[in-house]
């Protein structure tokens, strides 16, 4: 364990793994690097920049530790600092996977790197280039600028190919290379499949770690980053003390920020998990129900036949139990769901209307919800649409444009939306969602 210095900081090795765009292999490379360092006995902590649920699951499997989110807007600078400081006390290395391209988004991965003084490790897909790699990386470094610690070249064909890439980088070291893969993690419409769906996921990660040709001399020259310790945060008012929140968690309801669960516990709630896919009822005595996002569209037949689950959520609703349904959770509470094949399945029916899957992205980006307690921040990402005659009770606001975002519906004790809330951004607003007679 790292002991903080007397003047209130921790020094730790940090790398922000970024690229020119999505599709360069950031997640694969970050996972390979995390697994390789962990196998060498290093204590590795990994973060994901920006809103994401699926990549952190893979990175958690690779590193052996929970993966949380860093984002200058959704998470906020002080909460980012708090999470980094907590990780730095227990880690030899902190890896942060960037989002999209290095300068994409408001704020971007580069904004995070500059705010905290992180060196950047550029991942490039070298499969269709050689010397041009240098121009690409120098541009990434100088445009911001950012501190460019080095390069990891992905999909390298041969040692000679790697040598050409290295020569083009001038004063930037080629930190590591990864060869073209004969197979890759399967993907679906929201990105990678869930790690639990890949039978030999650990063997794949071990193979990636073995194939990552690593320059130990370059690694030894990497500097530490100083993480300033934040002032102690004010205690969270235990407004959910004595309350039990039942949370759906299975392959259909898997999109849960670990920080959301932490916040509910800090608010005093007891968490009890159950599986609608296994036709488990809402736990008896639950004071509130949380249905997070996930992949109900992959399991509509199972959900449509889960009579115990459906009856129990309808009974909870009839009894006035607060129900918070985000994205996939809302989809499971509509009257029906039409899947990618065009087949229609009955759902629990708490929210009038039908869900229809579509091939094109229907919603993406950071958004905030105005509440009596202030803004509750989060994001949206979905490939379905809700066709309903239920009037929206409110709309989120898109960041940074300020345009109207996702509709939020209230039907009795149900609050439902495609919006994924990040509870630490406003614990009081999050708590109000789970209390009878209150609404964020």
For residue 151, the SS3 value is strand
For residue 18, the SS3 value is strand
Catalytic residue among 327, 350, 407, 416, which? 327
The CA distance from 267 to 165, in Å, is: 52
Token match 């600078």: residue?
A: 77
Distances (CA, A) of 385 to 33, 47, 154, 179, 252: 38, 31, 36, 40, 17
The CA distance from 382 to 144, in Å, is: 31
Element containing residue 166 per DSSP (H, E): helix 159-168
Phi, psi of 192 (to 5 degrees): -65, 155
With a CB cutoff of 8 Å and minimum separation 6, the contacts of 174 are 150, 151, 153, 162, 165, 166, 215, 218
The CA distance from 82 to 137, in Å, is: 31
* 327 has catalytic annotation: yes
The CA distance from 67 to 59, in Å, is: 7
Q: In what order do the strands lie in the sheet with 414-417?
A: 270-274, 244-248, 288-291, 323-326, 414-417, 404-411, 394-398, 363-369, 376-382, 420-421
Which residues are catalytic, by number? Answer: 327
């Amino acid at each position: 364990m790292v002991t903080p210095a007397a003047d209130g900081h921790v020094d730790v090795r940090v790398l922000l793994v970024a690229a020119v765009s999505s599709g360069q292999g950031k997640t694969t490379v970050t996972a390979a690097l995390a697994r390789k360092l962990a196998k060498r006995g290093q204590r590795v902590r990994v973060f994901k920049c920006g809103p994401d649920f699926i990549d952190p699951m893979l990175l958690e499997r690779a590193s052996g530790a929970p993966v949380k989110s860093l984002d200058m807007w959704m998470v906020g600078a002080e909460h980012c600092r708090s999470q980094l400081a907590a990780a730095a006390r227990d880690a030899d290395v902190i890896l942060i996977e960037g989002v999209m391209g290095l300068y994409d988004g408001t704020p971007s991965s580069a904004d995070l790197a500059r705010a905290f003084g992180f060196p950047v490790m550029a991942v490039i897909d070298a499969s269709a280039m050689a010397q041009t790699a240098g121009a690409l990386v120098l541009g990434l470094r100088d445009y911001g600028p950012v501190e460019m610690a080095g390069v990891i070249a992905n999909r390298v064909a041969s040692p000679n190919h790697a040598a050409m890439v290295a020569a083009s980088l001038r004063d930037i070291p080629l930190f590591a290379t990864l060869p073209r893969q004969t197979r890759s993690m399967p993907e679906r419409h929201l990105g990678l499949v869930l790690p639990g769906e890949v039978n030999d996921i650990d063997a794949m990660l071990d193979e990636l770690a073995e194939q990552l040709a690593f320059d130990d001399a370059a690694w030894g020259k990497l500097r530490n980053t100083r993480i300033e310790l934040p002032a102690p945060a004010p205690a969270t008012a235990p407004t959910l003390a004595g309350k039990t929140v039942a949370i759906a968690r299975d392959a259909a309801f898997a999109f849960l920020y670990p920080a959301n669960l932490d916040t509910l516990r800090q608010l005093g709630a007891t968490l009890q998990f159950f599986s609608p896919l296994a036709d488990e009822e809402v736990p008896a005595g639950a004071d509130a129900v949380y249905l997070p996002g996930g992949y109900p569209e992959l399991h509509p037949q199972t959900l449509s036949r889960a009579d115990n689950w459906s009856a129990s959520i309808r009974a909870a609703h009839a009894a006035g139990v607060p129900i918070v349904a985000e994205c996939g959770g809302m989809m499971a509470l509509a009257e029906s769901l039409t899947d990618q094949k065009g087949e229609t399945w009955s759902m629990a029916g708490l929210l009038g209307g039908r869900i229809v899957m579509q091939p094109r992205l229907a919603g993406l980006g950071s958004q905030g919800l105005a509440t009596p307690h202030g803004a509750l921040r989060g994001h949206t990402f979905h490939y379905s649409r809700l066709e309903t005659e239920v009037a929206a009770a409110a709309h989120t606001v898109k960041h940074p444009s300020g345009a109207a975002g996702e509709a939020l519906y209230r039907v009795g004790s149900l609050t439902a939306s495609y919006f994924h809330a990040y509870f630490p951004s406003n614990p009081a607003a999050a708590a109000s969602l789970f209390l009878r007679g209150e609404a964020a």
